[in-house]
Amino acid sequence: MTKSKSLFITTLIIITIFFNCKDSKKSMANSNLDEKIEQKVDSVLNLMNLDEKIGQMVQYSAGWDLTGPASSKSAQDKVDKMKKGLVGSVLNVVSVKEVREAQKLVMENSRLKIPMIFAYDVIHGLKTIFPTPLGESASWDLETIQKTATIAAKESAASGLNWTFAPMVDVSRDARWGRIMEGAGEDPYLGSLIGAARVKGFQGDDLSNINTIAACAKHFAGYGFAEAGRDYNTTTVGEFELHNMILPPFKAAAKAGVATFMNSFNDIDGIPATGHRVLQRDILKEAWGWNGFIVSDWGSIGEMRSHGYAKDKKQAAEIALNAGSDMDMESYAYEAHLAELLEENKISLSDLEDSVRRILRVKFQLGLFDDPYKYCDEEREKNNIYTKEHLAIAREAAKKSIVLLKNEGNILPIAKDVKSIAVIGPFADNKDTPLGNWRAKGRYNSAVSLLEGVKAKVSKNTKVYYEKGVELTIPTVKPGSNQFLYPLEFNTKDKTGIKEAVAVAKKAEVVFLAIGEDAYQSGEGRSQVNIGFLGLQNELLEAIYKVNKNIVLVLSNGRPMDISRASEILPGILVTWQLGSESGNGIADVLFGDYNPSGKLPVSFPRNVGQEPLFYNQKNTGRPYNSKHVTYSGYTDSKKSALYPFGFGLSYTTFSYDNLKVDKETMNVDGKITLSVDVKNTGKVAGEEVVQLYIRDLVASIVRPTKELKGFEKIMLQAGETKTVSFTIDKEVLQFYTINRKWEVESGEFLLFVGENSATKMKQKITVE
């Protein structure tokens, strides 16, 4: 922006501040607001006409080259709107050059020159790709999780972006749901801490810092509870389930200062989330006192017509605005109908201006009014993306996210001077699937493959054999296009590679079998009824097992999978998710013992898909599990329990828990109890353990889960070392959303559990008076 134009805007703001300072102070409903920014927001708002106000509530996707002429009539219309200052945000513009060109359309042509905010789906890295969010959550390492979000923000800001549609904080219990890969799993407590860590990583301590971007907590709310695990499907939950299980991660994100929220595609008990006033206005904006803005999900305002909740797009706009949805992403409903709805008194000017005020507030917080081009530095873009330092942290995150499920006979770790290894499977030398879905600007085939990681790790005398064995999918688009493949076509006929794979398996001392899921089997719109090994992978597994029993399953997955057969017969199983740019190196660090695995499952792994949705924090029911009777809440053809429960994960060492005790057995509702336990490394190598605290409220005003995670601590123990881990049991730990429709502690008896995973039976009873 030129000095003269900048001076013009500044002068107008100062003049308006003089006349509106008193009103600005009245408008501040929350002490967390910055008074100076609020004065500026109100000043700009008072300079705007109605069209300009509505324009701030419009977000477009730029699907054309912004450095050249518009490619279509639709694109030209968007360009014209930008020039008039009638667009508040653009998504999918991802380079300094294009962001600058788009911003210039506003700054050099519009009346008030209000800068646009540029958004993108930076879910687990921009170009340096980290583990998919579910995989990274298995680290239970909040510091690392915050660090990877910080790097993602740094790379995004260097590319001209200032807003990401992350983190997804939906609690997800159903492995069939494709977007389970995008969140932190099935537990609201763990999800709350991880969501807050990601918000802090993206936003830092100051949104105006050049290396930070605005975060977005999504999808508000209930999206992860979609019926039948089918994406976009309806959600039917009760009031108490909503408050106790679904909303806590969103509240934690709001408390962490997340700049924006995104509402959801699903309806909740008949009311589409985009038009849900109780969620958006009553809970988020009023009860929680949150001051950011809510963006719709792609087209979700217009989709209320398909729900049967709005007769046309005009009514959809009315419902959405009245419910508290501030910005319209790609529905074109607000720009077409808000002015008319205002004239008809179907929406209020105060609600409309509240939305605009919230959007302007974030732009001021980002520093865009001070310098609309602050994110447009080509030198930063050249030097701050995909660096050695970023890749080193990607490797750290990768190895910390790996979960060791089985290690029979201590097959792992493998000696680096082992005579021979066979690396077999469709993901053995795959350099693309490790990037996972939602890989932003991650370059096709850029990940370190498992085969590359193994070869870099072993001695020069080790013979490494490789065979793909089977092709999992039949390609349907040009490689490198980064398009969503839909539907995936699975190879069920070409078995020619199995014979070659068997031949090398016969010659090897140990086999690394890399099977699982393609990157595009999970993600948005990627729900599946089959969560096992698709294509010919089961045949490959059985064929290899016939000739070599020393097999380590290296599982590629975006979701919990049915690995029951593999668990039954194979001695070693590593859950390696889709670990990002440094995948192969991180896996090799674990396979060969340079890193002792410490990951714990953030989701339960089922015995079969028929158990889904499956989660550890179930309720007891009136007929709890009893293996001696048929008439209990279970199955006649399968165990009720998970194959591998939430919180499970082995190490190359072993740990013992002892001396669980409390400093007192009774407390009042405002009191505290200290719970402690001694944890000892009983093995021969150093290792990390995640010590987990669970509670059970034995009798309550509503039925409570049999266990709820309420604390954890990740500790490092040398061989033979013992540490005492303590937890404070207080109101924060014991409270829940009660029959009184408020968060409170009820008196009565509680069980406190401590252990290695959610199946722990080590417990202590306390009483709250």
Q: Which residues are catalytic?
A: 297
Largest CA distance in the chain: 84
Torsion of CA 730, 142, 576, 604, to 10 degrees: 20
Q: 234: number of CA atoms within 13 Å, CB side? A: 10
> Which of 289, 293, 347, 357 lies closest to 320, judged by CA?
347
3-class DSSP state of 449: coil
User: Using CA of residue 749, residue 754, residue 758, residue 761, what is the dihedral sign?
Assistant: negative
Distance of CA 595 to the CA centre of its chain: 25
Which amino acid appears at position 502 of this protein? V
Torsion of CA 275, 280, 286, 290, to 10 degrees: -150
3-class DSSP state of 739: coil
**DSSP count for the chain of H helices, then E strands:** 23, 28
C-alpha 16/C-alpha 215 separation (Å) is 30
3-class DSSP state of 474: strand
Torsion of CA 406, 411, 412, 417, to 10 degrees: -160
Q: Are 362 and 292 a contacting pair, CB within 8 Å?
A: yes
> Which of 84, 82, 64 lies closest to 72, judged by CA?
64
Task: Quote helix, strand, coil % in the chain, to nearest 5.
Answer: 35, 20, 45
Contacts of residue 219, Cβ cutoff 8 Å, sequence gap at least 6: 168, 170, 262, 263, 264, 265, 266, 273, 297
